[in-house]
Amino acid sequence: MVAGAAALLVAGPIGMVASLFVYRHLKANTKRPRLYWLLLGLVTLPLCWAPLLVLLPEPPPAAPPHAPKQSEPSSVQMTPGQKFLKAKLTELDAIRQTSEFQEFKWSLAGPNPGWPQKLREEAEARNDLSIYEKGGVGMLALLGAEYASSDGADNGNTAQARRDVEEVINTPAR
């Protein structure tokens, strides 16, 4: 506050003297009175009032950014469709790691014939799946088909399909 008062005492008179100098100079050397009033108002008068800005109160300090709250997995409510998808994804992971899957894939000779098609049929029979979750079922069936073509190994296609299915599973219910 003391620095503001000192700045007002020093800069205020300097601004006033500058204003008078510009006023007399323009009045004596020009035949356009509106021009010198315009220049006086735009250039020198702010010099008189600028020291008053020091007296304005400082803005309050910015609040620190809040860290996003981590939601606990146990507190997240899953819909029945999400639980269904999670169970079927776990089932697919267990199936693809067996030696029978390596040999037979989804053929009729294997222990899980037509698993992707059965998955779709089971999902169609349920009436508690949202459209979004039905899309997740389709992606899960495609993931199963991709695992069959890659002998159960992960690759770029399976990684993307898995991310898509997990996104449907982990999307908060509305």
The whole-number pLDDT of residue 117 equals 93
Specify the length of the chain in residues.
174
The yes-or-no verdict on residue 22 having pLDDT over 60 is yes
| Predicted confidence band of residue 7 (pLDDT cuts 50, 70, 90) | low
Do the Cβ atoms of 134 and 123 come closer than 8 Å? Answer: yes
Classify 41 as helix, strand or coil.
helix
Residue appearing with tokens 């021009």: 35
Average pLDDT over residues 22-41: 64
Q: Collect all residues with Cβ–Cβ distance below 8 Å to 84 and sequence separation of at least 6.
A: 123, 126, 129, 133
Do the Cβ atoms of 16 and 51 come closer than 8 Å? Answer: no
Cα separation of 135 and 171, whole Å? Answer: 13
The whole-number pLDDT of residue 110 equals 87
The domains of the chain are located at 2-55, 77-170
Name which of 12-16, 107-111, 131-135, 165-169 the model is least confident about: 12-16
Task: Tell me the per-residue pLDDT of 53-105, one tens digit each, with 9 for 90 and over.
Answer: 666 677 777 766 665 454 444 456 899 999 999 999 999 999 999 999 989 99
Task: Tell me the per-residue pLDDT of 118-168, one tens digit each, with 9 for 90 and over.
Answer: 999 999 999 999 999 999 999 999 999 999 999 889 999 999 999 999 999
